[in-house]
Amino acid sequence: MWTETRQGRVAVARFNRPPMNYFTDADIDQLERLVGDWAQPGIGAVVLAGGLPGKFITHFDVDAILRKQEQPEGPIEAPVRSRRFHAMIRTLNELPKPVIAALNGDAMGGGFELALGCDVRIGELGDYRYGLPEVRLGIVPGGGGLTRLSRLIGPGRALLLGLSARVLDPEEAHRAGLVEQLAPDAVAAAIELATRIADLTPSAVAMAKRIVYQTAGLPLSVALDAELESAYRAKQSPDAAAPMREYLELPLTERRAWLDQ
């Protein structure tokens, strides 16, 4: 159900499962394989988007969740689906390149959990809904949604949304900090951002992403040491010299414009 296209060094993956874009175990399988492909050097950034009008990933297939309740996994292997989903999201986080969610439609439950696992979320202006409504269905998020949401917007607001099962329209989500950017066309905005980042020095992009994820939640002194090590690696990378030389070759009066591109 995932179809991938390339725009330069940007991989664009669209999810298309008619009629409602509900997420299933098979879609996790396919996405796991795609994530492995995206590690190759020829790709500089990734965009995830919905392939049906008005739908990013609506939510996980509730029928499949109910079947697991009626025919539960054994106590040793359970919960298989959630563990696989968590592992796949961690692999996205470990990619040395950005993964941008273009929320061009409804993104709730498991769909929004996938978006929360991406590096950046771009919402689209329109009559769409984002959030974690699981409690309304008598369950709670199992794909890391509340944990990631609390780190993104703080425990108080995460509890407010999670306990009330509220879903937000894109403008409300932007004000609440659930999405970093709003655009009339989320996919176009995501591709533009992905292209900009993909044109930058790969080692610097990789180390910047590593700093953010590896230092989250660490004591300040430990986090600063981790940042120092990543900064050193970026400076020593062979591909760092070319952009620094390009900058230094400019007249002093032109350097700010170069940085402001």
Q: Percent of the chain, pLDDT > 70?
A: 98
Residue 77's contacts (CB-CB under 8 Å, 6 or more residues apart) are none
Q: Are residues 191 and 233 in the same domain?
A: no
- What b-and-e string marks burial along 3-22, b requiring 16 or more CB atoms within 10 Å of the CB? eeeeeebbbbbbbebeeebb
pLDDT (average), residues 118-138: 97
Instruction: Pull the structure tokens for residue 145.
Output: 């949604």
Helices (H), the chain: 25-37, 62-70, 80-94, 110-117, 145-153, 155-164, 170-176, 186-198, 202-215, 220-236, 241-248, 255-259
Confidence of residue 172 (pLDDT cuts 50, 70, 90): very high
The region, left, alpha or beta by phi > 0 then psi within -120 to 50, assigned to residue 60 is beta
Q: Are residues 211 and 193 in the same domain?
A: no
Q: From edge to edge, which strands make up the β-sheet containing 10-15?
A: 2-7, 10-15, 45-50, 99-103, 120-124, 181-183
As a whole number of angstroms, the distance between CA 27 and CA 70 comes to: 22
Which residue among 73, 134, 172, 229 is the active-site one?
A: 134
pLDDT (average), residues 116-142: 97
For 2-35, the pLDDT digits (tens) are: 999 999 999 999 999 999 999 999 999 999 999 9
Instruction: Pull the structure tokens for residue 229.
Output: 């090590």
Q: Are residues 190 and 230 in the same domain?
A: no
CATH of the domain at 44: 3.90.226.10
* Residue 80, domain extent: 2-198
Q: Are residues 155 and 72 in the same domain?
A: yes
Give helix 80-94 / helix 25-37 axis angle, nearest 10°.
20
pLDDT (average), residues 145-164: 95
Q: Say yes or no to pLDDT of 76 above 70.
A: no
Q: Are residues 32 and 155 in the same domain?
A: yes
Mean pLDDT, all residues of the chain: 94
192 is catalytic: no
113 is catalytic: yes
- Of the candidates 97, 140, 91, the one whose C-alpha atom is nearest the C-alpha of residue 114 is 91
Q: Say yes or no to pLDDT of 195 above 80.
A: yes
Confidence of residue 255 (pLDDT cuts 50, 70, 90): very high
pLDDT (average), residues 194-218: 95
Q: Say yes or no to pLDDT of 204 above 70.
A: yes
Q: Are residues 156 and 59 in the same domain?
A: yes
Confidence of residue 79 (pLDDT cuts 50, 70, 90): confident
As a whole number of angstroms, the distance between CA 64 and CA 143 comes to: 15
Give helix 145-153 / helix 155-164 axis angle, nearest 10°.
140
Q: Say yes or no to pLDDT of 75 above 80.
A: no
Which residue among 113, 172, 180, 192 is the active-site one?
A: 113
Q: Percent of the chain, pLDDT > 90?
A: 89
Number of domains in the chain: 2
State phi, psi for 220 to the nearest 5 degrees: -55, -45
Start-to-end CA span in the chain (Å)? 37
Confidence of residue 72 (pLDDT cuts 50, 70, 90): confident
Alpha-carbon separation of residue 188 from 49, 129, 171 (angstroms): 10, 19, 18
**Angle, CA 98 vertex, CA 157 and CA 230 arms, to 5°:** 95
Q: Are residues 153 and 212 in the same domain?
A: no
Q: Say yes or no to pLDDT of 171 above 80.
A: yes
**Which pTM does this prediction carry?**
0.94
For 33-68, the pLDDT digits (tens) are: 999 999 998 999 999 999 999 999 999 999 988 887
Q: Are residues 159 and 63 in the same domain?
A: yes
* Per-residue pLDDT, 68: 78
Instruction: Pull the structure tokens for residue 74.
Output: 């054994």
Q: Are residues 180 and 250 in the same domain?
A: no
Bridge partners of residue 150, in order along the sequence: none
